[in-house]
Amino acid sequence: MKMKAIVYTHYGSPDQLRLAEVPKPTPAADEVLIKVRATGLNARDWRMLRADPFLVRMMNGLFKPRNTILGADVAGTVETVGAAVTRFRPGDAVFAELSIDRSGGLAEYTCAAENAIAPKPANLSFEEAAAVPMAALTALQSLRDDGKVQPGQNVLIYGASGGVGTFAVQMAKVLGAEVTAVCSTTKMDMARALGADHVIDYTREDFSKNGRQYDLILAANGNRSLSDYERALTPTGIYVMAGGGTSQLFQAMLLGRFKTKAGGKTMRSVSAHSSQADLVLITALLEAGKIKPVMDRCYPLSETAEAFRYLEEGHAKGKVVISVGQSGE
Protein backbone atom coordinates (compact mmCIF):
# COMPACT_ATOMS: atom_id res chain seq x y z
CA MET A 1 0.00 0.00 0.00
CA LYS A 2 1.05 3.57 -0.67
CA MET A 3 0.81 6.77 1.37
CA LYS A 4 1.56 10.44 0.83
CA ALA A 5 4.74 11.85 2.35
CA ILE A 6 7.10 14.79 2.06
CA VAL A 7 10.47 13.43 0.92
CA TYR A 8 13.93 14.77 0.18
CA THR A 9 16.62 12.84 -1.66
CA HIS A 10 19.38 15.47 -1.55
CA TYR A 11 20.57 17.89 1.13
CA GLY A 12 19.79 21.54 0.52
CA SER A 13 17.09 24.19 0.76
CA PRO A 14 13.34 23.62 1.26
CA ASP A 15 13.14 23.42 -2.55
CA GLN A 16 14.36 19.83 -2.12
CA LEU A 17 11.12 18.86 -0.37
CA ARG A 18 8.43 17.27 -2.53
CA LEU A 19 5.11 15.52 -2.02
CA ALA A 20 5.29 11.91 -3.17
CA GLU A 21 3.66 8.52 -2.80
CA VAL A 22 5.81 6.03 -0.91
CA PRO A 23 5.26 2.58 0.63
CA LYS A 24 3.23 2.55 3.83
CA PRO A 25 5.47 1.33 6.68
CA THR A 26 4.91 -1.89 8.62
CA PRO A 27 5.55 -1.86 12.38
CA ALA A 28 8.12 -4.18 13.94
CA ALA A 29 7.15 -6.35 16.91
CA ASP A 30 7.81 -3.58 19.44
CA GLU A 31 6.40 -0.76 17.31
CA VAL A 32 3.10 1.01 16.72
CA LEU A 33 1.87 2.23 13.34
CA ILE A 34 0.49 5.75 13.80
CA LYS A 35 -2.03 7.37 11.49
CA VAL A 36 -0.53 10.86 11.59
CA ARG A 37 -2.85 13.79 12.15
CA ALA A 38 -0.22 16.48 12.74
CA THR A 39 3.57 16.86 12.81
CA GLY A 40 5.53 19.52 14.68
CA LEU A 41 8.61 21.02 13.04
CA ASN A 42 11.84 21.71 14.92
CA ALA A 43 15.09 23.48 14.12
CA ARG A 44 16.65 20.03 13.87
CA ASP A 45 14.44 19.28 10.87
CA TRP A 46 15.82 22.07 8.74
CA ARG A 47 19.32 21.30 9.99
CA MET A 48 18.84 17.72 8.81
CA LEU A 49 17.52 19.03 5.48
CA ARG A 50 20.51 21.31 4.96
CA ALA A 51 23.08 18.99 6.60
CA ASP A 52 24.10 21.91 8.82
CA PRO A 53 26.23 21.33 10.81
CA PHE A 54 28.25 18.87 8.74
CA LEU A 55 27.98 16.31 11.56
CA VAL A 56 24.43 15.66 10.30
CA ARG A 57 25.99 13.74 7.42
CA MET A 58 27.62 11.37 9.90
CA MET A 59 24.14 10.55 11.22
CA ASN A 60 22.10 10.42 8.04
CA GLY A 61 24.41 9.74 5.10
CA LEU A 62 27.56 11.44 3.87
CA PHE A 63 26.43 12.36 0.35
CA LYS A 64 22.65 12.02 0.49
CA PRO A 65 20.09 11.38 3.22
CA ARG A 66 19.60 7.78 4.25
CA ASN A 67 16.23 8.53 5.84
CA THR A 68 14.30 10.68 3.41
CA ILE A 69 11.25 11.70 5.49
CA LEU A 70 11.70 14.37 8.16
CA GLY A 71 9.56 15.15 11.20
CA ALA A 72 10.26 13.78 14.69
CA ASP A 73 7.16 15.11 16.53
CA VAL A 74 3.85 13.45 15.70
CA ALA A 75 0.31 13.21 17.02
CA GLY A 76 -2.32 10.84 15.68
CA THR A 77 -4.16 7.59 16.28
CA VAL A 78 -2.86 4.05 16.54
CA GLU A 79 -3.58 2.14 13.33
CA THR A 80 -2.01 -1.23 14.16
CA VAL A 81 0.42 -2.58 16.76
CA GLY A 82 3.31 -5.02 16.64
CA ALA A 83 3.05 -8.46 18.20
CA ALA A 84 4.99 -7.47 21.33
CA VAL A 85 3.11 -4.21 22.03
CA THR A 86 1.00 -4.33 25.21
CA ARG A 87 0.25 -0.73 26.20
CA PHE A 88 -1.57 0.56 23.12
CA ARG A 89 -4.36 -0.62 20.86
CA PRO A 90 -5.86 0.55 17.55
CA GLY A 91 -7.81 3.79 17.89
CA ASP A 92 -5.78 5.19 20.80
CA ALA A 93 -4.93 8.90 20.44
CA VAL A 94 -1.17 9.30 20.99
CA PHE A 95 1.77 11.62 20.54
CA ALA A 96 5.44 10.76 20.16
CA GLU A 97 8.99 11.99 19.78
CA LEU A 98 10.63 9.82 17.15
CA SER A 99 14.39 9.53 17.14
CA ILE A 100 15.74 12.43 15.10
CA ASP A 101 17.87 10.23 12.86
CA ARG A 102 14.83 8.14 12.00
CA SER A 103 12.07 10.77 11.94
CA GLY A 104 9.32 9.98 9.44
CA GLY A 105 6.52 12.21 10.73
CA LEU A 106 5.89 14.17 7.54
CA ALA A 107 3.75 11.38 6.15
CA GLU A 108 0.27 9.95 6.46
CA TYR A 109 1.62 7.03 8.51
CA THR A 110 4.74 6.44 10.57
CA CYS A 111 6.08 3.81 12.95
CA ALA A 112 7.24 4.52 16.49
CA ALA A 113 8.70 2.34 19.22
CA GLU A 114 6.16 1.60 21.95
CA ASN A 115 8.41 3.24 24.56
CA ALA A 116 8.59 6.49 22.55
CA ILE A 117 4.88 7.29 22.59
CA ALA A 118 2.32 8.31 25.19
CA PRO A 119 -1.42 8.98 25.29
CA LYS A 120 -2.27 12.36 23.77
CA PRO A 121 -3.13 15.02 26.36
CA ALA A 122 -6.92 15.03 26.54
CA ASN A 123 -7.19 18.83 26.53
CA LEU A 124 -5.13 19.35 23.34
CA SER A 125 -6.00 19.08 19.67
CA PHE A 126 -3.78 16.88 17.50
CA GLU A 127 -2.09 20.01 16.14
CA GLU A 128 -1.41 21.34 19.64
CA ALA A 129 -0.12 17.94 20.78
CA ALA A 130 2.28 17.75 17.83
CA ALA A 131 3.79 21.05 18.99
CA VAL A 132 4.86 19.48 22.28
CA PRO A 133 7.25 16.48 22.30
CA MET A 134 10.79 17.50 21.33
CA ALA A 135 10.54 21.10 22.55
CA ALA A 136 8.98 20.15 25.88
CA LEU A 137 11.37 17.23 26.42
CA THR A 138 14.34 19.50 25.65
CA ALA A 139 13.12 22.18 28.06
CA LEU A 140 12.37 19.71 30.86
CA GLN A 141 15.56 17.69 30.57
CA SER A 142 17.76 20.78 30.14
CA LEU A 143 16.35 22.45 33.25
CA ARG A 144 15.85 19.44 35.53
CA ASP A 145 18.69 17.11 34.53
CA ASP A 146 21.43 19.30 33.05
CA GLY A 147 20.64 22.59 34.76
CA LYS A 148 19.68 21.00 38.09
CA VAL A 149 17.27 23.86 38.81
CA GLN A 150 16.32 24.38 42.44
CA PRO A 151 13.45 26.46 43.86
CA GLY A 152 14.41 30.09 44.31
CA GLN A 153 17.24 30.08 41.77
CA ASN A 154 17.58 32.77 39.13
CA VAL A 155 17.21 31.33 35.63
CA LEU A 156 17.68 33.15 32.31
CA ILE A 157 16.07 31.74 29.16
CA TYR A 158 17.73 33.10 26.03
CA GLY A 159 15.47 32.62 23.03
CA ALA A 160 12.38 32.54 25.20
CA SER A 161 9.88 32.94 22.36
CA GLY A 162 10.74 29.85 20.32
CA GLY A 163 9.53 26.28 20.67
CA VAL A 164 11.95 25.23 23.42
CA GLY A 165 12.03 28.68 25.01
CA THR A 166 8.27 28.97 25.52
CA PHE A 167 8.21 25.63 27.32
CA ALA A 168 11.39 26.46 29.27
CA VAL A 169 9.88 29.65 30.72
CA GLN A 170 6.84 27.75 31.93
CA MET A 171 8.73 24.73 33.25
CA ALA A 172 11.28 26.85 35.09
CA LYS A 173 8.37 28.46 36.92
CA VAL A 174 6.88 25.04 37.70
CA LEU A 175 10.27 24.07 39.16
CA GLY A 176 10.17 27.15 41.41
CA ALA A 177 12.72 29.39 39.72
CA GLU A 178 12.68 33.16 39.23
CA VAL A 179 12.71 33.47 35.46
CA THR A 180 14.18 36.12 33.18
CA ALA A 181 13.18 35.76 29.53
CA VAL A 182 15.23 37.24 26.67
CA CYS A 183 13.36 37.90 23.43
CA SER A 184 12.57 40.63 20.89
CA THR A 185 10.30 43.62 21.45
CA THR A 186 7.20 42.14 19.81
CA LYS A 187 7.36 38.97 21.92
CA MET A 188 7.78 40.49 25.37
CA ASP A 189 4.07 40.39 26.23
CA MET A 190 3.91 36.71 25.31
CA ALA A 191 6.89 35.93 27.57
CA ARG A 192 5.18 37.71 30.47
CA ALA A 193 1.94 35.83 29.79
CA LEU A 194 3.86 32.56 30.02
CA GLY A 195 4.99 33.49 33.51
CA ALA A 196 8.37 35.21 33.12
CA ASP A 197 9.18 37.40 36.16
CA HIS A 198 11.46 39.66 34.12
CA VAL A 199 11.75 40.20 30.36
CA ILE A 200 14.78 41.60 28.54
CA ASP A 201 14.39 43.02 25.04
CA TYR A 202 17.65 41.96 23.37
CA THR A 203 17.31 44.76 20.80
CA ARG A 204 17.64 47.33 23.60
CA GLU A 205 19.59 45.64 26.40
CA ASP A 206 22.55 43.26 26.53
CA PHE A 207 21.95 40.69 29.27
CA SER A 208 25.67 39.94 29.46
CA LYS A 209 26.61 43.54 30.29
CA ASN A 210 23.95 44.65 32.76
CA GLY A 211 25.73 43.26 35.81
CA ARG A 212 23.15 40.62 36.66
CA GLN A 213 24.15 37.01 37.18
CA TYR A 214 22.16 33.80 37.02
CA ASP A 215 22.34 30.34 38.54
CA LEU A 216 21.36 28.84 35.20
CA ILE A 217 21.31 30.13 31.65
CA LEU A 218 19.43 28.02 29.12
CA ALA A 219 20.24 29.12 25.57
CA ALA A 220 17.32 27.91 23.49
CA ASN A 221 18.60 30.00 20.60
CA GLY A 222 22.22 30.45 21.54
CA ASN A 223 23.49 32.95 19.03
CA ARG A 224 25.88 34.64 21.46
CA SER A 225 29.49 33.81 22.27
CA LEU A 226 30.31 31.43 25.08
CA SER A 227 32.11 34.22 26.93
CA ASP A 228 28.92 36.33 26.99
CA TYR A 229 27.04 33.56 28.76
CA GLU A 230 29.98 32.86 31.07
CA ARG A 231 30.06 36.50 32.15
CA ALA A 232 26.41 36.38 33.23
CA LEU A 233 26.75 33.24 35.38
CA THR A 234 27.19 33.15 39.13
CA PRO A 235 30.53 31.61 40.29
CA THR A 236 28.87 28.18 40.43
CA GLY A 237 26.35 28.79 37.64
CA ILE A 238 25.45 26.41 34.82
CA TYR A 239 25.15 27.23 31.11
CA VAL A 240 23.15 24.81 28.96
CA MET A 241 23.01 25.17 25.19
CA ALA A 242 19.89 23.56 23.75
CA GLY A 243 19.84 25.30 20.38
CA GLY A 244 21.81 27.75 18.29
CA GLY A 245 24.04 28.21 15.28
CA THR A 246 26.92 26.08 14.13
CA SER A 247 29.59 28.29 15.70
CA GLN A 248 27.81 28.26 19.07
CA LEU A 249 27.48 24.48 18.89
CA PHE A 250 31.20 23.98 18.32
CA GLN A 251 32.06 26.53 21.01
CA ALA A 252 29.94 24.65 23.53
CA MET A 253 31.28 21.26 22.46
CA LEU A 254 34.96 22.16 22.13
CA LEU A 255 35.47 25.03 24.57
CA GLY A 256 32.80 24.31 27.17
CA ARG A 257 34.75 21.54 28.90
CA PHE A 258 37.84 23.75 29.13
CA LYS A 259 35.83 26.56 30.70
CA THR A 260 34.13 24.18 33.14
CA LYS A 261 36.01 24.24 36.42
CA ALA A 262 35.67 21.92 39.39
CA GLY A 263 33.39 23.56 41.94
CA GLY A 264 32.85 26.48 39.57
CA LYS A 265 30.92 27.27 36.41
CA THR A 266 29.63 24.50 34.17
CA MET A 267 29.10 24.96 30.42
CA ARG A 268 27.64 22.26 28.19
CA SER A 269 25.53 21.52 25.13
CA VAL A 270 22.63 19.09 25.42
CA SER A 271 20.29 17.11 23.21
CA ALA A 272 16.93 15.81 24.35
CA HIS A 273 16.34 12.07 24.46
CA SER A 274 13.07 10.30 23.89
CA SER A 275 11.42 9.30 27.18
CA GLN A 276 7.96 7.87 27.65
CA ALA A 277 8.10 8.66 31.37
CA ASP A 278 8.87 12.31 30.64
CA LEU A 279 6.11 12.50 28.01
CA VAL A 280 3.68 11.19 30.63
CA LEU A 281 4.93 13.82 33.11
CA ILE A 282 4.56 16.54 30.46
CA THR A 283 1.03 15.30 29.74
CA ALA A 284 0.14 15.68 33.41
CA LEU A 285 1.45 19.25 33.42
CA LEU A 286 -0.51 20.05 30.25
CA GLU A 287 -3.75 18.56 31.51
CA ALA A 288 -3.35 20.39 34.84
CA GLY A 289 -2.96 23.69 32.99
CA LYS A 290 0.52 24.31 34.40
CA ILE A 291 2.07 24.53 30.93
CA LYS A 292 0.65 24.98 27.44
CA PRO A 293 2.00 24.78 23.89
CA VAL A 294 2.42 27.96 21.87
CA MET A 295 1.64 27.39 18.20
CA ASP A 296 2.56 30.10 15.72
CA ARG A 297 1.32 28.70 12.41
CA CYS A 298 -0.19 25.54 10.99
CA TYR A 299 0.38 24.52 7.36
CA PRO A 300 -1.16 21.71 5.27
CA LEU A 301 1.17 18.87 4.24
CA SER A 302 1.31 20.20 0.67
CA GLU A 303 2.83 23.49 1.94
CA THR A 304 5.60 21.91 4.03
CA ALA A 305 8.36 23.62 2.04
CA GLU A 306 6.84 27.02 2.84
CA ALA A 307 6.62 26.04 6.51
CA PHE A 308 10.34 25.21 6.49
CA ARG A 309 11.15 28.60 4.94
CA TYR A 310 9.19 30.37 7.67
CA LEU A 311 10.80 28.25 10.39
CA GLU A 312 14.29 29.03 9.10
CA GLU A 313 13.68 32.77 9.43
CA GLY A 314 13.86 32.27 13.20
CA HIS A 315 10.99 34.59 14.10
CA ALA A 316 8.26 32.10 14.97
CA LYS A 317 6.40 32.59 18.26
CA GLY A 318 6.42 29.04 19.54
CA LYS A 319 5.98 26.11 17.17
CA VAL A 320 5.24 25.59 13.48
CA VAL A 321 3.00 22.58 12.83
CA ILE A 322 2.01 20.60 9.74
CA SER A 323 -1.59 19.36 9.60
CA VAL A 324 -1.37 16.01 7.85
CA GLY A 325 -4.86 14.53 7.93
CA GLN A 326 -5.77 11.86 5.41
CA SER A 327 -6.97 11.96 1.86
CA GLY A 328 -10.75 11.79 1.80
CA GLU A 329 -11.17 13.15 5.34
Domain annotation for the chain: domains and CATH numbers: 2-132+293-323 (3.90.180.10), 135-269 (3.40.50.720)
Measured between its terminal Cα atoms, the distance across the chain in Å is 18
243 vs 155: CA distance, rounded Å: 17
Cβ count near 325 (within 10 Å): 17
| pLDDT tens per residue across all 329 residues of the chain | 999 999 999 999 999 999 999 999 999 999 999 999 999 999 889 989 998 877 777 778 888 998 999 999 999 999 999 999 999 999 999 999 997 557 899 999 999 999 999 999 999 999 999 999 999 999 999 999 999 999 999 999 999 999 999 999 999 999 999 999 999 999 999 999 999 999 999 999 999 999 999 999 999 876 788 889 989 999 999 999 886 555 555 555 555 454 555 456 888 877 778 899 999 999 999 999 999 999 999 999 999 999 999 999 888 899 999 999 753 34
Rounded to two decimals, the pTM is: 0.92
136 vs 119: CA distance, rounded Å: 15
Cβ count near 198 (within 10 Å): 14
Secondary structure of residue 161 in the 3-state scheme: coil
278 vs 272: CA distance, rounded Å: 11
Q: What is the phi/psi pair of residue 159, to 5°?
A: 85, 45
Q: What is the phi/psi pair of residue 12, to 5°?
A: 155, -150
Q: What is the phi/psi pair of residue 37, to 5°?
A: -105, -30
Residues 6 or more apart whose CB falls under 8 angstroms from that of 62 comprise none
List, in sequence order, every residue forming a beta bridge with 94; answer none if it has no partner.
76, 119
List, in sequence order, every residue forming a beta bridge with 320; answer none if it has no partner.
41, 297
Burial class (CB in 10 A: 0-12, 13-18, 19+), 171: buried
